[in-house]
């Protein structure tokens, strides 16, 4: 099989020739810059660049030599933007190693070593404390209350770091002819690779409520002020459907998978009851999936962290083809149970290695054995694309990364 055939077979619940693998096809299935530098050094790779395409999470674009070495089967189409050396500049990471930022991103360093980001109006929208490896959101536009109407919603969304510091290709979305350029670039990529292609569109609903109102307020709103929650979600849906219309028209026939995002779970359970999810968000998630499936050939992929077992059936009914990151460390997210109950109806993209206590802390042999066990659970019958549980973080030893991918390679033989 080609990589594309392998990934699509897995999503269609057909067992492929061997387990498909993702590294870096989404901003939540990749590797952080520090871990990437350590991995390259461990492997003796001295060429190339450590380019941080998601500046909030400090996640890099994996380079071709590593994609080939580990047998990666899927690509994020954002990698075909900012392709010139002049689109990047050198920076120093928290551990003293080198990397590059896109030229549009210039955080300010304070006297105490912290980095902050100001928008064009001078509002501080993000902060990364000295020694840290992630920018935190500092501006919550509706934290005091909802506005009388949502006429300023676009402006206020632009003050949220996830929108203001968006990764490629969306850092070019404001340019004239963006969608025509997007199609041209994706067509060229598809002609020159046999890998499956992914586009990230977000279209978050619950999360946008937390970005605007702050987590504590929005969680209370879902119970104490559901009318405002519903009004906000309707406004978000207008914008999301407009984006999906343009994406489907531009690349819906040439991209294989469209990634949505909406973190609905914590380590210990869901953010809300199953009934609240069904009332406030499921109908809109269904509309998003219906639109993509009706107007394109793309499969839909939901990134949702945490304990989401209670609504797995609802997510399937809403139309999602793929779920990620499959956080098996969370409550009720037992991999064997998930595979048995839902493995015929949704594809698990992740769950391949525990990033909380195994990949970052265990000895390489334990990482290898754990990874082989997860593959044995998830892979039979298709419906599985290998990925660790969320991004590979800076504290993960390079030897453990290699052990994880060696387990995948050995399972393929």
The pLDDT of residue 185: 98
As a whole number of angstroms, the distance between CA 240 and CA 411 comes to 39
The SS3 of residue 261 is: strand
Sign of CA dihedral 392, 396, 399, 403: negative
Sign of CA dihedral 167, 309, 356, 397: negative
pLDDT digits over 313-370, tens only?
999 999 999 999 999 999 999 999 999 999 999 999 999 999 999 999 999 999 999 9
Backbone angles phi and psi of 163, in degrees to 5: -95, -45
Query: The tokens 């779920």 sit on which residue?
Result: 323
Residues in a beta bridge with 102: 88
DSSP label of 22: -
Nearest CA to 177 out of 270, 250, 86 is that of: 250
Report the 3 state secondary structure along 55-85: CCCCEECCCHHHHHHHCCCEEEHHHHCCCCH
The pLDDT of residue 406: 98
Residue 286 C-alpha from the chain's centroid: 20
pTM tops 0.75? yes
Q: Are 3 and 74 in contact (CB under 8 A)?
A: yes
The pLDDT of residue 1: 96
DSSP label of 329: T
The pLDDT of residue 175: 96
Q: Are 22 and 72 in contact (CB under 8 A)?
A: yes
Residue 238 C-alpha from the chain's centroid: 22
The pLDDT of residue 106: 97
As a whole number of angstroms, the distance between CA 11 and CA 28 comes to 18
The pLDDT of residue 136: 98
The pLDDT of residue 90: 98
Q: Are 16 and 5 in contact (CB under 8 A)?
A: yes
The pLDDT of residue 94: 95
Backbone angles phi and psi of 168, in degrees to 5: -70, 150
As a whole number of angstroms, the distance between CA 160 and CA 412 comes to 42
The SS3 of residue 410 is: helix
Within 8 A by CB and 6+ apart from 270, the residues are 264, 277, 306, 307, 308, 310, 311
Classify strands 136-137 and 257-261 as parallel, antiparallel or unpaired: unpaired
The pLDDT of residue 287: 98
As a whole number of angstroms, the distance between CA 393 and CA 277 comes to 30
Residue segments in the chain with a per-residue pLDDT below the cut of 70: none
Within 8 A by CB and 6+ apart from 239, the residues are 153, 154
Residue spans of alpha helices (H) in 192-330: 206-213, 215-224, 226-251, 274-280, 282-295, 312-318
Query: The tokens 């996640």 sit on which residue?
Result: 59
- Residue 328 tokens, joined: 């098996």
Task: Order across the sheet with 115-118: list the strands.
Answer: 108-109, 115-118, 124-128, 136-137
CB atoms within 10 A of CB 38: 22
């Amino acid at each position: 099989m080609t990589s594309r055939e392998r990934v699509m077979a897995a999503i269609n619940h057909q067992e492929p020739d061997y387990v498909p693998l993702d590294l870096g096809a989404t901003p939540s299935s990749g590797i952080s810059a520090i871990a990437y530098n350590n991995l390259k050094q461990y492997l003796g790779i001295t060429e190339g660049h450590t380019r941080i395409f998601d500046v909030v999470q400090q996640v890099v674009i994996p380079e071709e030599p590593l994609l080939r070495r580990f047998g990666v089967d899927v690509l994020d189409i954002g990698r075909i933007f900012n392709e010139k050396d002049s689109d990047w500049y050198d920076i120093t990471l928290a551990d003293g190693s080198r990397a590059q930022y896109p030229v549009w991103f210039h955080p300010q360093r304070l006297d105490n070593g912290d980095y902050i980001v100001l928008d064009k109006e001078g509002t501080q929208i993000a902060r990364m404390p000295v020694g840290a490896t992630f920018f935190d959101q500092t501006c919550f536009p509706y934290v005091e209350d909802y506005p009388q109407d949502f006429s300023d919603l676009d402006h206020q969304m632009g003050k949220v770091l996830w929108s203001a510091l968006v990764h490629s290709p969306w850092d070019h979305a404001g340019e004239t002819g963006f969608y025509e350029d997007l199609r041209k670039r994706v067509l060229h990529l598809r002609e020159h690779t046999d890998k499956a292609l992914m586009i990230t569109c977000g279209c978050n609903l619950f999360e946008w409520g937390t970005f605007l109102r702050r987590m504590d307020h929005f969680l209370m709103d879902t119970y104490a002020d559901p009318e405002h929650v519903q009004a906000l979600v309707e406004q978000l849906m207008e914008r999301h459907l407009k984006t999906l219309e343009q994406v489907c028209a531009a690349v819906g026939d040439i991209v294989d998978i469209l990634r949505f995002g909406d973190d609905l779970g914590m380590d210990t359970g869901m953010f809300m009851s199953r009934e609240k999810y069904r009332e406030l968000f499921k109908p809109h998630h269904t509309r998003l999936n219906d639109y993509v499936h009706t107007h394109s050939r793309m499969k839909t992929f939901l990134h949702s962290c945490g304990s989401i077992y209670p609504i797995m059936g609802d997510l399937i009914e809403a139309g999602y083809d793929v779920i990620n990151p499959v956080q098996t460390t969370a409550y009720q997210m037992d991999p064997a149970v998930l595979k048995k109950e839902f493995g015929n109806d949704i594809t698990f993209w992740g769950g391949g290695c525990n990033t909380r206590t195994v990949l970052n802390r265990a000895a390489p042999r334990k990482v290898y054995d754990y990874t082989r066990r997860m593959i044995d659970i998830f892979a039979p019958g298709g419906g599985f694309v290998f990925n660790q549980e969320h991004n590979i973080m800076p504290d993960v030893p390079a030897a453990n990364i290699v052990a994880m991918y060696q387990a995948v390679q050995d399972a393929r033989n």
